[in-house]
Amino acid sequence: MENNNKLKMIDLFAGAGGLSEGLREAGFNSLYANEIKKSYSETYAANHQSTIIERCDIRKVDAYSVRKLLNLKRGELELIAGGPPCQGYSINAPVRSTDDERNHLFKEFLRFVDEFFPRAVLIENVPGLVSFEGGMTLQAILTALEKHGYKSDVKILYAPHYGVPQTRWRTIIIGLRDGQTSGLFFPEPVRQAPTRINFTSRFGGRNIVALPCKVELPSFISVKDAISDLPVLENGEVGAKIKKYRTKPMNDFQRAMRAGSDGVVNHQALQLSKINIERLAFIPPGGNWTNIPEALLPKGMQRARRSDHTKRYGRVAPEGLASTILTKCDPHWGAYFHYDQDRTFTVREAARIQTFPDTFHFIGSRVEQYEQVGNAVPPLLAVAIGRSLARALGYENKEFIRAM
């Protein structure tokens, strides 16, 4: 394996590799990853070429065989990280039930923990995990980790506090072996950002949302800060596969995202319908569906209260945060219209807002690329978590930390 000087980890339910990308920047080396979806695993492989990628149902994978393949003794691995599918946990899911088999895939994660017995475990999920089944699922995970030899804790992290220019929350569980207390090793927020908590934030009688402790912190990264150097596109424009940057990097964020990049890929504009172009003409930066004349609204929205669906058909405010990047940049879902171009975000713009570096290329159809970006852990959030974990393990190599 390459990069033997780095902390060794494996990534389960790996997706396109956002978590591994950030952890790599924090000094971890992913030796093995498991991801069931073809295009996701191909993207992971293209961007993590030294990692063994296995594309199959994790329930059919023999953890002992994986450990022998990696030539690791039990207890030698530093970290097992992963995010079991979150649909069943999500506060946005129409039905949340323990009958959904996806809710039990964390047991497969624990099966690998048993086999490898790593120094640390990391599980990420949606905020809705905290309230699912009255908190019983989350408690079951923490209890299971304790039975398997790990002191564990949970916090809900807000991505803008760590340099991510969108309103995204993630539930993070960290478990440490050898009697260490994991609660001391969650990352502290490094930026101020406006917050709106619309989910259960208390667990075990305490507030588990990580909020800034320091008063004087720099402000959040805005959408304009993040993407203003990317090429201008017309609605539906495809253009060259690799495009030139619009400007030189104008801030530290852009410089970091462009490090090592020769040009802009995955940057093609979707073709908006005629009716959406007509609607867009009425929406100012920071505006939304309420700016559209009633006659041009979808029939279902003509009956909506003006206080409802305030992000739908939104044109993002350039100096603000983006809506949470989902698996589609569909204006019917949120504020995904560009602030000064009459189109929706491209895959690359969505990836920038998720803090993927420009050297990270997405494989598959554009629909699949949007899904990969939307389902990912923002790498800069993962960097912050990785740095805290590295400190917990007695190691912090700043050579691997992206300067933000």
Q: Write the pLDDT tens digit of every residue in 36-93.
A: 999 999 999 999 999 999 999 999 999 999 999 999 999 999 999 999 764 343 344 4
Distances (CA, A) of 38 to 54, 122, 137, 368: 10, 24, 29, 10
**In this predicted structure, which of 41-50, 209-218, 276-285 has the lowest mean pLDDT?**
209-218
Task: Please confirm, yes or no, whether 213 is among the known catalytic residues.
Answer: no
Kind of pairing between the strands at 169-176 and 151-158: antiparallel
**In this predicted structure, which of 305-309, 356-360, 380-384 has the lowest mean pLDDT?**
305-309
**In this predicted structure, which of 143-157, 168-182, 219-233 has the lowest mean pLDDT?**
168-182
| Domain regions of the chain by residue span | 7-217+377-400
Question: Which helix H or strand E contains 174, and what residues bound it?
Answer: strand 169-176
Residue 390 has a pLDDT of 93
Kindly tell me the burial class for residue 304, based on how many C-beta atoms sit within 10 Å of its own C-beta (0-12, 13-18, 19 or more): middle
With b for 16 or more beta-carbon neighbours within 10 A and e for fewer, the 351-375 pattern comes to: bbbbbbbbebebbbeeebbbbbbbb
Q: One of 56, 86, 213, 329 is an active-site residue; which one?
A: 86
Please name the residues in contact with 136: beta carbons below 8 A apart, sequence gap of 6 or more. none
Question: Which helix H or strand E contains 11, and what residues bound it?
Answer: strand 7-12
Phi-psi region of 210 (alpha: psi -120 to 50; beta: other; left: phi over 0): beta
Calculate mean pLDDT across residues 345-360.
98
pLDDT tens digits along 2-39: 445 689 999 999 999 999 999 999 999 999 999 999 99
Residue 90 has a pLDDT of 37
Residue 87 has a pLDDT of 38
Residue 234 has a pLDDT of 97
Q: At which residue do the structure tokens 């259960």 appear?
A: 200
Residue 215 has a pLDDT of 82
CA pair distance 322, 315, nearest whole angstrom: 10
Phi-psi region of 185 (alpha: psi -120 to 50; beta: other; left: phi over 0): alpha
Rounded to a whole number of angstroms, the distance between the first and last alpha carbons of the chain is: 29
Residue 397 has a pLDDT of 53
CATH number (3.40.640.10, 3.40.50.150, 3.30.1050.10, 3.40.50.300) of 7-217+377-400 reads 3.40.50.150
Structure tokens that stand for 115 in this block: 């086999």
DSSP states of 244-287 as a string? --SSS--SHHHHHHHTT--SB-S-------HHHHHHHTT--TT-
Residue 396 has a pLDDT of 62
CA pair distance 271, 276, nearest whole angstrom: 10
What value does the mean pLDDT of the chain take? Answer: 90
Residue 135 has a pLDDT of 85
Let me know: does 362 contact 349? Beta carbons within 8 Å. no
Residue 237 has a pLDDT of 97
pLDDT tens digits along 129-150: 898 888 888 888 888 899 999 9
Is residue 204 pLDDT above 50, yes or no? yes
pLDDT tens digits along 265-278: 999 999 999 999 99
Distances (CA, A) of 81 to 8, 15, 122, 202, 363: 11, 12, 5, 24, 23
Residue 86 has a pLDDT of 43
Number of Cβ atoms within 10 Å of the Cβ of 15? 25
